[in-house]
Amino acid sequence: MKNTVSALFAILIPAIAIPAAAQIPRHLDPTVVAVNKELPRGEAVSHDSKADAVGRTPGASKYLQPLTEWTRTESADAVRYRTRFRVPFGWIDRRQFLCVGRTSGSFDVMVNGAPAAYSQTGSTPGEFDITDASKEGANELEIVIWNDLVSARLENNRPAVPPRLEGEVYIVSQPRVRVRDVAVSTRMEESSGLLELGVILKSHLLNPHDYTVFWELLNPAGEIVAEGRKDARLEMRREDTVTFFANIPRIVPWSHEEPRLYTLFIKTQNEGRFREYLSFRVGFRNLGLDDDGTMTLNGMPLELDMREFVPPGDAAEMREALMGIHREAMAGNGGAAGVMLRGAPPSREFYALCDSLGIYVVGRADIDTRAAGESRTVGGNPSNDPAWKAAYLDRVLAMYHTSKNHPSVSMFSLGSEAANGYNLYESYLALKRLERHRPVIYTDGGGEWNSDLVLAAGDYPTLSAAAASSAGWLTLEAIDVAAGRFRLSNLRRITPFTGEAAYRIVAGRRNVVSGGSLPVEVMPGESVEFTVPVSGVREGKAYTVAVEIAGENPAGDYLPDDDPNLKIFRRLDRPLDPANRAVVVAGEFGSGER
């Protein structure tokens, strides 16, 4: 395989300017963006079995070590967080990476007393290869967060706080040939899902190796609906992308109507041994933008009830806040809730919640330079100062790569209240080279060309309350009860319904003479007729025909028990269980006595 990366999966990252002889400390130099910092990527946690990878229990991997016990000391120029971690014997032949979720500003990383890495921004997760700096057994780790720092010029929207760790920190271990990142693009074509998958492999070895990459797509019930494999040859210390394309029938699209999530499972093999197991949640949907600025989902106009959102630092508070947004949208007309992030990008759990709840996210880079004014002349706003180009690109591309695979992420924003200029122009072009479908916007740029046109709320066609209501989107009516004929209608605009029609024929009040179930499938905005067999009846006797419709729970891990979606999508474990009822239509026929 040639050592190339397709345009879809190319990882663009700015060149990092590091002066040969720095005249000022690097945390005060805008041109020094990072030292020994890995390229940004989505979450990639190794596991040692498929069961552990697919289970995705947080912290369950033997190759992930959370760091939670810290000693904090202050000095005039910085705050130092110190802790210890262990490198088990089983990790010796692997690479070790320090993952820092979020800090209040620029920081250095020290391992066993020696400088190991530096990051100008703490706004997005930073990952650092500390393999060569660590040793088997006990190690000392120090994160030095600077007090006076140049990155504050780009973060005028953040309150002034003492230097601090604000997110999770952990050590993760991967093989010496590892999955560095995964890029997923999904589309819908009628009832089929189109999957484009790029598995980016990186070798840390000094000689070439042959690898095989396997993938599987599992539905919410854990059943494999598609799979594939491909061989690759990794040259020494090189990186390459193994690409897959699949057309998968009978896929239920992801949307606010039904946030259907599938599990993408990946494993690698070398010399007959499986080396790494990973899994990711994915959703299939077509997010696009018409020429007139209409945002579309699977070809239908998508009007978002958009609000700015600052994710609370506490995980429980964040979960409750997002569930409140979800409930409010479900109760309204349309049910499409959108949140535009304000401040630093949030934790991994934030995106997982939005994926499961069906909330649309506008990712926004942590760039806000309002304090510098609007001037584009020398000494004015850094948005037009080429010395800051690498810093802008670093923030924008890190925001993109850490969130790109989440189905809930619908748009990307370059920042807020940062005037406009060369650095934001270059940031827009960099994102457009990566992203083919989702809009890239910058609403505070004065209407210049570096922002896609997206219609504002209220400019979309008004949706009917019946079609938009989450509680009344599925209706069942009797056409001819004696003949067992019924009509099922799907009033949703985006999501098809697949489930079962469970029926029973009852004589008198309780005597069930026959029953069973039939598969039913209704496309959005359409109706289907079906006939249940009326059997076991006698002439002159009165009977009742009862029919219920039920389908699968779309596997929303975070849906609360009182969510209307759960009342509709309870799995039909046995016919006519009252807890599973969605719609019941009963009719009598026959002239005899009951």
Query: For the segment 467-478, what is each residue's pLDDT rounded down to a tens digit?
Result: 444 446 778 888
The secondary element (H helix, E strand) that includes residue 228 is strand 224-234
Most confident of 56-70, 148-162, 268-282, 447-461: 268-282
Mean local confidence (pLDDT), 260-266:
94
Instruction: Phi first, then psi: give them for residue 54, nearest 5 degrees.
Output: -75, -30
Q: In the structure, how many helices (H) and strands (E) does the chain have?
A: 7, 32
Q: Is the pLDDT of residue 557 over 70?
A: no
| pLDDT value for 57 | 66
| pLDDT value for 553 | 56
Looking up tokens 């946690």, which residue turns up? 45
User: What whole-number distance in Å separates Cα of residue 417 and Cα of residue 277?
Assistant: 42
| pLDDT value for 58 | 56
Query: Going by C-beta distance under 8 Å and a sequence separation of 6 or more, which residues neighbour residue 206?
Result: 236, 237
Q: Is the pLDDT of residue 509 over 80?
A: no
Query: For the segment 329-340, what is each residue's pLDDT rounded down to a tens digit?
Result: 777 655 688 998
DSSP secondary structure, 190-206, as one string: TTEEEEEEEEEEEE-SS
Query: For the segment 61-102, what is each residue's pLDDT rounded down to a tens digit?
Result: 899 999 999 999 999 999 999 999 999 999 999 999 999 998
Query: For the segment 569-584, what is each residue's pLDDT rounded down to a tens digit?
Result: 333 233 333 333 334 4
Residue 13 exposure: Cα atoms within 13 Å on the Cβ side: 13
- Helix %, strand %, coil % for the chain, to 5? 15, 40, 45
Q: Is the pLDDT of residue 265 over 50?
A: yes
CB 331, CB 337: distance < 8 Å: no
CB 252, CB 298: distance < 8 Å: no
Q: Is the pLDDT of residue 270 over 80?
A: yes
Count of beta carbons in the 10 Å neighbourhood of residue 372: 20
Q: Is the pLDDT of residue 216 over 80?
A: yes
Nearest one of 228, 227, 278 to 56, comparing CA atoms: 278
Mean local confidence (pLDDT), 144-152:
92
Least confident of 311-315, 324-328, 554-558: 554-558
| pLDDT value for 554 | 54
C-alpha angle 299/301/303, rounded to 5°?
A: 145
Mean local confidence (pLDDT), 250-271:
92
| pLDDT value for 347 | 76
Most confident of 90-99, 517-526, 535-544: 90-99
Q: How confident is the model at residue 490 (pLDDT cuts 50, 70, 90)?
A: confident
User: pTM for the full model?
Assistant: 0.85
| pLDDT value for 13 | 39
3-class DSSP string for 64-120 = EEECCCCEEEECCCEEEEEEEEEECHHHCCEEEEEEECCECCCEEEEECCEEEEEEC
Domains assigned to the chain: 28-174 (2.60.120.260), 176-285 (2.60.40.10), 302-463 (3.20.20.80), 465-589 (2.60.40.10)
Q: Residue 554 CA to chain centroid, in angstroms?
A: 16
| pLDDT value for 495 | 84
Mean local confidence (pLDDT), 299-324:
85
Give the sheet arrangement for strand 177-189, strand by strand. Answer: 177-189, 192-203, 239-248
Q: How confident is the model at residue 60 (pLDDT cuts 50, 70, 90)?
A: confident
Least confident of 3-12, 243-252, 416-425: 3-12
Nearest one of 441, 150, 498 to 306, comparing CA atoms: 441
| pLDDT value for 332 | 63
Structure tokens at 122: 């703490």
Mean local confidence (pLDDT), 260-274:
94
Query: Going by C-beta distance under 8 Å and a sequence separation of 6 or more, which residues neighbour residue 259?
Result: 283, 355, 356, 357, 358, 407, 554, 556
